[in-house]
Structure 1
Amino acid sequence: MPTPTFFRLPDEKRERFVDEAINEFADRSYAEASLSQIVKRVGIAKGSVYQYFADKLDLYRWLLIEEVPRRRREFVGVIDDADTDFWAALETQIERGMAFLVEHPKLARITAAAADPTAHEEVRGLHRAVCQAGEAELERSLERGIRRGAISKDVDPKIAVHFVTAITGPGLTNVVLQELGADLHEILASDELRRKLDPRRRRRLAKQALLLIQRGLGA
């Protein structure tokens, strides 16, 4: 994880370093990614990076488990007690999740690469940590839905989170792949394909996903 020295960097320098690290890990596999290339583009000595992170894996782990999920949360939003309509907020989250693929393909590529079963042995298991953090956040949202009466009190949020994740995760991803006629890596690499996942299509798919969830969880 980042050292205190990293957070003491000027904002502009720190943000540039993070952006270049994202570019490197999004455009190359973990094994091919190079700290030398990152620091070269940032314009700092290679030794400086070890004042910020222990090694390449440390930097990659931080990006995957903390920085990318943080940016995704900021983009997608989080359901909280201020949301008066739980179902409308969840539908918006689902649509924004698809929009994240369109607008932030590099961030999505980093997560997708870690999920690949052929990923470098050092990074296997990191994707599960990302999933667990997302599931914990979704579970808290479902608990809010139960408190408001939007979801039946008979529903166990610890079980329901897997049901909802199956619909909004692998299930919805497969629908998107079928509609666009390409695999995920092709979509993340092609501006033309991502443009086909336009707001109208995203809203339609989000409504269908929400309908399935409501029928399973609705009060």
Structure 2
Amino acid sequence: MPLPRFSRLSAEQRRTILDVARRQFAAYGANTASYNKIIDAAGISKSTAYQYFDGRDDLLGAVLADLRDRIAGLLGDWSPAPSEHAFWQQLREGGAQLHRHLAGDPDDLALVDAAADRANPGALWLERMIANGKDLGIIRDDTEPNLLLASTAAVLQTVDRWAIDRLRTDPETSPAELEQGYRLLASLWSET
């Protein structure tokens, strides 16, 4: 994570550095983008950059944390749905929002896998969604909670990666084409 001096910059300066770094990491790869080229593109000296970040991996971590935070902000908190229909609609709308965002932002699309690899994003969101699904009778309640949470997270991550790969190879992929991911979740959650 960034060094304390980075947080003392204005929000605009932090945003500029993170945006430049995000574009560079997206263009040249999360594991291969050059730290020197990134700080040069951001218009800061190497000595200044080391006052903000311990190095390339620290800057990458900041960029990926920012991406996760922006996606979490886009999705918002899980609001308890009052019905099965509303539950699935909310889940699909969240997926469609993420799909639209990634389809419209090639830099975030290029880095979303790396962001997911570095954290356990959305655990609280998943816990709330699962609790809501159990209350509505959508999600089985005969499975140990941590196993259900882990298996749901694994299926969602797999479906997300599959959907992201589809989006990368065919930018015209519609959210409706991704419906099989929801069917997979429904089969995981079903008691039959």
TM > 0.5:
yes
TM-score, normalised to structure 1, is: 0.70
Residue pairs, 1:38-77, within 5 angstroms: 38-64=38-64, 66-77=65-76
The two structures, once aligned, show a CA RMSD in angstroms of 3.0
Aligned equivalent of 1:139 = 127
Q: CA deviation at 1:164?
A: 3.2
C-alpha distance 24-176 of structure 1, shift in aligned 2 (>3 A): closer
Specify which of 143, 147, 150 is matched with residue 159 of structure 1. Answer: 147
Matched, 1:170 2:158: yes
Looking at structure 1, the residues matched to 61 and 163 of structure 2 have their Cα atoms a distance apart, in angstroms, of 29
Q: CA deviation at 1:136?
A: 5.5
Aligned equivalent of 2:3 = 3
Q: CA deviation at 1:47?
A: 1.2
Matched, 1:212 2:164: no
Looking at structure 2, the residues matched to 100 and 157 of structure 1 have their Cα atoms a distance apart, in angstroms, of 31
C-alpha distance 167-133 of structure 1, shift in aligned 2 (>3 A): closer
Aligned equivalent of 1:119 = none
**Number of equivalenced pairs:** 188
Looking at structure 2, the residues matched to 92 and 60 of structure 1 have their Cα atoms a distance apart, in angstroms, of 29
Aligned equivalent of 2:29 = 29
Q: CA deviation at 1:17?
A: 0.5
SS of equivalent residue, structure 1 residue 50: helix
> Does the CA-based 8 Å contact 2:72-2:122 persist in structure 1?
no
Unpaired segments of 5 or more residues in structure 1?
A: 116-125
Looking at structure 1, the residues matched to 78 and 109 of structure 2 have their Cα atoms a distance apart, in angstroms, of 21
Q: CA deviation at 1:29?
A: 2.9
Residue pairs, 1:95-134, within 5 angstroms: 95-112=96-113, 114=114, 127=117, 129-130=118-119, 132-134=120-122
> Does the CA-based 8 Å contact 2:2-2:53 persist in structure 1?
yes
Looking at structure 1, the residues matched to 162 and 21 of structure 2 have their Cα atoms a distance apart, in angstroms, of 29
Q: CA deviation at 1:157?
A: 3.6
Looking at structure 1, the residues matched to 73 and 99 of structure 2 have their Cα atoms a distance apart, in angstroms, of 14
Which residue identity is paired with 1:145? G
Q: CA deviation at 1:2?
A: 1.6
Q: CA deviation at 1:80?
A: 3.0
Q: CA deviation at 1:67?
A: 1.3
Q: State the identity %.
A: 26
Q: CA deviation at 1:88?
A: 1.8
SS of equivalent residue, structure 1 residue 78: coil
Looking at structure 2, the residues matched to 176 and 26 of structure 1 have their Cα atoms a distance apart, in angstroms, of 15
SS of equivalent residue, structure 2 residue 54: coil
C-alpha distance 50-89 of structure 1, shift in aligned 2 (>3 A): same
Looking at structure 1, the residues matched to 20 and 190 of structure 2 have their Cα atoms a distance apart, in angstroms, of 44
SS of equivalent residue, structure 1 residue 51: helix
